[in-house]
């Protein structure tokens, strides 16, 4: 449940402005992860790096303010009140932000004052090199990356894309680990005794080689510790040798874990397509062995291809066992929104939602159901009992009215028709095609009725069925709703009986105008 913000400046944690801010946070975190380890190579400052340092420092300082005006989730509810937000911030991110932003500003102040007061350039460089280590505290912000990545994962609906993103994440993680190891190996070499470290042994000091060559050499050494490859750079003292041993031990675990995870993800991605192809092959073989007529084979294969293509990226509800932990109210709300929310396009159900949304949500468990149709499947025929209203979500339905109704439509008649025609009497020339957001048989909600036509899918379609009896039972439980719907039912039946409406079972323009006009005046 999401509360309405009592103050206009409070942001929802899932709102677009907060999502945009978190996306920028992720980009700046990635920048810090890449550039901070590079400080071990003592790069010369540039206009770009100086500008980015100021941007990141100001951004993360402003992030404190953003945290103080962003709601948080508490026991399934989004809290948007300032004082609880402030208390929650003190208990969660305050210490981390203080540890990160505090040293950042101290480093900046000392940097500026040291540059202005120092007369010896060498002392300034030593000061900057020593204080630059403090910037590594910024990496504590990686704790926030978990929340940002979780937010990104929540927006991925395709299982194949999710697997590809997971593979990319693991490869990137492997590179970042080696990035940190390369920087650490170079830092250990720079702290060693002169002429007894690998930097002097292989001429990798700043005065001997440029930044890119020094970094790529160190990264190459790091990667060889994770793979069977080798290179001509070796440790030259005890500290470097001990570090190399630790990296080898860590590499045995990390590299094997990364490789197994990537291999498993690739196999899963390949099996997804292989299973689908195998199922189609088995279906074709089954149809051939059973000597199914070609026309029926074509219809079966066509619908299976349609069904699998539309559900390929959908997560089946049966796979989400954790949904059983939801309360009945939450489950009804979720079911209505995921399956039947298009019903609100009809003025009757939109009015029910406005007056008592709980009634509409309860219908998802008792009154509403979904129905899929292949091309050529009947929705209803003349001999079927009229117990449902139908709302078309996707596809196309052809409705053909019975020929006898041509004479009856010229007269004043009641909605309930006593004579039941047969399917053979249906005239194909008197038909219309209904598409998305159209509906049929609203009349069954308000009066006893028998079908006077037939409806058949002319393309793959998905239909919502509204069971008339339970609909009336739920509406009657709310007195205001019962009074309004009784008045509408009376006016609706009266309208059908007094007007010469030929297409009484479908959502023609006259019926839509009547319904819209009625609820607009209420």
**Tens of pLDDT along the chain (522 residues)?**
445 556 677 888 877 888 788 888 888 888 888 888 888 888 888 899 889 988 988 998 898 888 888 888 776 678 888 888 889 888 888 887 887 788 778 777 776 776 555 555 554 454 445 445 555 666 666 666 666 666 666 666 666 777 787 888 888 888 889 999 999 999 999 888 888 889 988 888 888 889 999 999 999 999 888 877 788 888 989 999 999 999 988 888 888 887 888 788 777 777 766 777 778 888 888 888 888 888 888 878 878 877 776 665 566 676 677 777 788 888 888 888 888 888 888 888 888 888 888 888 888 888 888 888 888 888 998 888 888 999 998 889 998 887 654 444 444 334 443 343 444 444 555 788 888 888 888 888 888 888 888 899 988 888 999 998 999 888 888 888 889 999 998 888 888 777 655 567 887 777 788 888 888 876
Beta pairing class for 461-467 and 388-394: antiparallel
Q: Residue 367: phi, psi to the nearest 5?
A: -115, -35
The CB-based long-range contact list for 142-149 (8 Å cut-off, 24+ gap) reads: 142/29, 142/33, 143/96, 144/25, 144/29, 144/93, 144/96, 145/26, 145/29, 147/22, 148/22, 148/23, 148/25, 148/26, 148/29, 149/26
346, 511 Cβ separation under 8 angstroms = no
Q: For residues 513 and 22, what is the distance between their CA atoms, to the nearest angstrom?
A: 46
Interatomic CA distance for residues 63 and 244, integer angstroms: 39
List, in order of start, the domains of the chain with CATH numbers.
Answer: 1-155 (no CATH), 157-311 (no CATH), 328-520 (2.60.120.10)
How far apart are the C-alpha atoms of 235 and 360, rounded to whole Å?
A: 72
pLDDT at position 186 is 92
Instruction: State the Cα angle at 97 between 92 and 103, rounded to 5°.
Output: 150
* Residue 210: φ, ψ to 5°: -80, 170
The packing angle between helices 142-154 and 159-191, to 10°, is 170
- Residue 309: name the closest of 321, 317, 301, 297 by CA: 301
**Per-residue pLDDT, 221:** 92
Residue 218: per-residue pLDDT: 93
> Between β-strands 426-434 and 397-402, what pairing exists: parallel, antiparallel or unpaired?
antiparallel
- Asked if residues 255 and 177 have their Cβ atoms less than 8 Å apart, the reply is no
User: Do residues 397 and 379 touch, judged by C-beta distance below 8 A?
Assistant: yes
């Amino acid at each position: 449940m999401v509360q309405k913000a009592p103050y206009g400046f409070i942001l929802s944690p899932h709102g677009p402005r907060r999502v945009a801010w978190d996306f920028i946070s992720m980009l700046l975190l990635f920048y810090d992860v890449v550039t901070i380890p590079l400080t071990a190579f003592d790069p010369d400052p540039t206009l770009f790096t100086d500008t980015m340092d100021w941007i990141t420092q100001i951004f993360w300082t402003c992030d404190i303010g953003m945290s103080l005006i962003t709601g948080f989730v508490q026991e399934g509810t989004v809290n948007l009140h300032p004082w609880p937000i402030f208390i929650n911030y003190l208990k969660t991110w305050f210490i981390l932000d203080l540890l990160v932003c505090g040293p950042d500003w101290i480093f900046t102040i000392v940097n500026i004052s040291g540059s202005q007061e120092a007369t010896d350039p060498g002392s300034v460089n030593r000061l900057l090199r020593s204080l630059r280590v403090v910037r590594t505290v910024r990496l504590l912000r990686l704790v926030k990356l978990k929340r940002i990545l979780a937010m990104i994962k929540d927006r991925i609906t395709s299982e194949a894309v999710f697997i590809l993103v997971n593979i990319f994440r693991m490869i990137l993680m492997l590179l970042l680990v080696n990035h940190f190891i390369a920087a650490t190996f170079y830092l250990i070499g720079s702290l060693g005794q002169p002429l007894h470290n690998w930097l002097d042994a292989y001429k990798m000091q700043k005065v001997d080689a440029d930044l890119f060559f020094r970094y790529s050499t160190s990264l190459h050494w790091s990667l060889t510790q994770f793979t069977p490859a080798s290179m001509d750079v070796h440790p030259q003292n005890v500290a470097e040798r001990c570090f190399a041993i630790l990296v080898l031990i860590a590499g045995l675990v990390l590299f094997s874990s990364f490789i197994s995870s990537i291999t498993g993800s690739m196999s899963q991605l390949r099996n997804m397509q292989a299973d689908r192809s195998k199922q189609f092959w088995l279906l074709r073989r089954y149809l051939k062995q059973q000597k199914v007529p070609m026309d029926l084979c074509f219809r079966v294969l066509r619908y299976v291809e349609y069904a699998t293509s539309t559900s390929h990226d959908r997560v089946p509800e049966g796979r989400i066992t954790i949904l059983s932990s939801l309360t009945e109210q939450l489950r009804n709300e979720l079911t209505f929104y995921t399956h039947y929310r298009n019903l609100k396009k009809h003025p009757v159900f939109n009015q029910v939602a406005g007056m008592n949304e709980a009634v509409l949500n309860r219908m998802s468990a008792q009154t509403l159901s979904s129905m899929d149709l292949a091309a050529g499947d009947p929705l209803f025929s003349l001999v079927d009992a009229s117990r449902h209203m139908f709302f078309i979500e996707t596809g196309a339905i052809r409705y053909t009215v019975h020929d006898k109704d041509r004479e009856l439509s010229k007269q004043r008649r009641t909605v309930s028709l006593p004579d039941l025609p047969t399917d053979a009497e249906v005239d194909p020339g008197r038909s219309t095609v209904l598409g998305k957001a159209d509906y049929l048989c609203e009349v069954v909600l308000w009066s006893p009725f028998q079908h006077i036509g037939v409806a058949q899918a002319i393309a793959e379609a998905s239909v919502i069925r509204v069971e008339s009896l339970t609909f009336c039972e739920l509406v009657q439980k709310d007195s205001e709703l019962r009074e309004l719907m009784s008045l509408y039912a009376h006016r609706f039946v009266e309208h059908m009986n007094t007007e010469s409406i030929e297409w009484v079972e479908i959502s023609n323009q006259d019926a839509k105008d009547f319904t819209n006009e009625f609820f607009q005046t209420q």
